[in-house]
Amino acid sequence: MANLAEVLDVVDDATLDALESLAHQAAAAAGDLLMHERPADNELQVATKTTPSDVVTEMDEAAEAVITSLIRTFRPEDAIVGEEGGTTAGLTAVRWVIDPLDGTVNYLYRIPCWAVSIAAQVMVDGQWRSVVGVVHSPALRSTWHARLGAGAFLDDADGRERLRVSGQTQLSQALLATGFGYDAARRAEQGRTVAHMAPRCRDLRRAGAAAVDLCWVADGRLDGYWERGIKLWDHAAAALIVAEAGGIVTDLYGGPPGSDVVIAANSGLWPDLVAELKAGDVLGSGV
Ligand code: IPD
């Protein structure tokens, strides 16, 4: 992760203010749409993407359109990477990474664990670094957010709370979460890793939205999380929130999270978690 001084060499504090405010505005607008304009079950249009179980609804696409239109209005020269295809190149040092609806299957089934995820990133030394992250879950009445160097927060019915990851460092006592990809062969391998991990921790959860899983690590509801194969838009905002809450989000070797596997925990739990994930063949055959 870049530090604030490196980022401030590229963009000034007023720009960070503007990015933060736009991320909140766009997440709120998309969240309102998803909450209040969802068609009835029999009218919701659903298509498939990479596999028959990888669904996209008309609401994923409508929410992404709301977000990209706001970004293009206020910051027309920034790059955008959006899960549903709203990707455009930019002319500035800023890029937006958007998952308009993380947890689409939950949304489809009216399970409230889904969120809008928006990260603003700045190019520092040739690498995109998240400087603002907002994960907004209207159905959970929760918004997790962070700005580089300024801490991570949860806004909910009780007000605003500064976040800190859990202090649990014993894997056998840790509550962990994971998720599954949409490809059947990969899912079978992920099941074998779950079988390895289940007897070695307190318990496992599969809530169905990677961004929320990561935010639950940030707010201490979970002690750790791993998942193979999640995409940049699933973790770009939430990884900053975990980091600003004092946790770490890495790949299997301690580097920045990538598409192989994303692991989040406090730094005391991380080594044993990684060791068991390696023993549980978390990378599988690469399918
Ligand atoms: C999915 C969710 C899920 C995770 C999958 C993701 P989507 O994102 O985050 O929890 O297990 O790997 O693809 O498809 O709902 O945006």
| Structural domains in the chain, sorted by start | 4-162 (3.30.540.10), 171-283 (3.40.190.80)
**Is ligand 1 within 6 A of the CB of residue 180?**
yes
Token pair recorded at residue 59: 């609401």
60 lines ligand 1 (CB under 6 A): no
Q: How many angstroms separate the alpha carbon of residue 102 from the centre of ligand 1?
A: 6
Task: Determine the residue of 215, 234, 262 to mutate for testing ligand 1's pocket, defined as the one with the most ligand atoms within 8 A of the Cβ atom.
Answer: 234
CA angle, residues 251, 232, 51, in degrees to nearest 5: 105
Place of tokens 């962070």: 146
Tell me how far apart the alpha carbons of residues 165 and 244 are, in angstroms, rounded to a whole number.
Answer: 9
- How far is residue 268's CA from residue 171's CA, in Å, rounded to a whole number? 10
Predicted model pTM: 0.96
User: Which residue in this structure is represented by tokens 């019915």?
Assistant: 157
Query: Ligand 1 pocket, 82 CB below 6 A?
Result: no
C-beta 270 within 6 A of ligand 1 = no
Contact 108 CB / ligand 1 (< 6 Å): no
Q: How much distance in Å is there from the Cα of 49 to the middle of ligand 1? A: 12
What single-letter amino acid sits at 190? Answer: Q
* 213's tokens: 């899983």
Atom 15 in ligand 1: residue holding the nearest Cα = 103
Please tell me the distance from the alpha carbon of residue 113 to that of residue 128, in angstroms, as a whole number.
28
Q: Is 104 touching ligand 1 by the criterion CB < 6 Å?
A: yes
Q: Report how far apart, in Å, the C-alpha atoms of 228 and of each of 98, 107, 190, 261, 274 are.
A: 19, 22, 8, 4, 13
CB-based contact 35:63 (threshold 8 Å): no
244: β partners = none
Structure tokens at 197: 């991990």
Calculate how far, in angstroms, residue 10's C-alpha sits from the geometric centre of ligand 1.
32
In the three-class reduction of DSSP (H, G, I as helix; E, B as strand; rest coil), residue 69 is classed as helix
pLDDT tens by residue, the chain, 287 residues: 678 888 888 889 999 999 999 999 999 999 999 999 888 888 888 898 888 887 788 899 999 999 999 999 999 999 999 988 867 899 999 999 999 999 999 999 999 999 999 999 999 999 999 999 999 999 999 999 999 999 999 999 999 999 999 999 999 999 999 999 999 999 999 999 999 999 999 999 999 999 999 999 999 999 999 999 999 999 999 999 999 999 999 999 999 998 799 999 999 999 999 999 999 999 999 88
